[in-house]
Amino acid sequence: MVVYLEDLDRGDGGSGPDLHHVILGSEGTLGVITEVTIKIFPLPEVKKYGSFVFPTFGHGVDFFREVAKQQCQPASLRLMDNEQFMMGQALKSEVKSFWESLSTKLAKIYLTKWKGFKIEEMVAATIVYEGSAEEVGVQEKKLALIADKYGGLPGGEESGKYGYRLTFAIAYLRDLGMDYSVMGESFELLALIRDCIDCIVSVTGCRL
């Protein structure tokens, strides 16, 4: 650790400088990192996206709980609630191909009319698989079995890719809103999986 004391800005506060701005964390003015350890890992042989659609948020949470219980987590696994799922559908580019449009309509009919999913309740899980071809194949089969157990249906690889692109795009939507005096922010919460629904309901006031 190297400490540099010259020209310290003490700030205007009567209580002196904020310790968080002095030496703590990556934004400190006194602390200088002099040594780091870098670990290098080979790129995975296979990287593949996937997704599942569930009738409700509760079904999705049960799916996540079972994945954790069986210790078969893929490289990344995210659950989008209905609001984020619907926003993603609204932001999709217009389908110009007749066959793509027909496929989308048939999928919607299958979900809502045949399987009984409700548009205002359904959610989606997005997945990234990484590893050897054999490992990815095993992961896909395990997660498909668990998803089926909790009422999930395959959403396809393209939907998985789109879900992750949407996650990164949300920050830019916030920036766009600020141009029109609309403020928004996100926060992270760590909670036990059995408490996550209660936490979300308490914060948002919405039923899941």
Residue ranges at the known binding site for FAD:
27-33
Burial-class residue 59 by CB neighbours within 10 Å (0-12, 13-18, 19+): buried
Q: Show binding-site residues.
A: 27-33, 174
Alpha carbons 92 and 127: distance in angstroms, whole number = 19
> How many other CB atoms are found less than 10 A from the CB of residue 185?
5
- Name the CA radius of gyration of the chain, rounded: 23
Q: Show binding-site residues for substrate.
A: 174
Pairing of strands 76-80, 2-3: unpaired
CA distances from 46 to 96, 130, 132, 133 (A): 31, 6, 6, 6
Residues ≥6 apart with Cβ < 8 Å to 172 = none
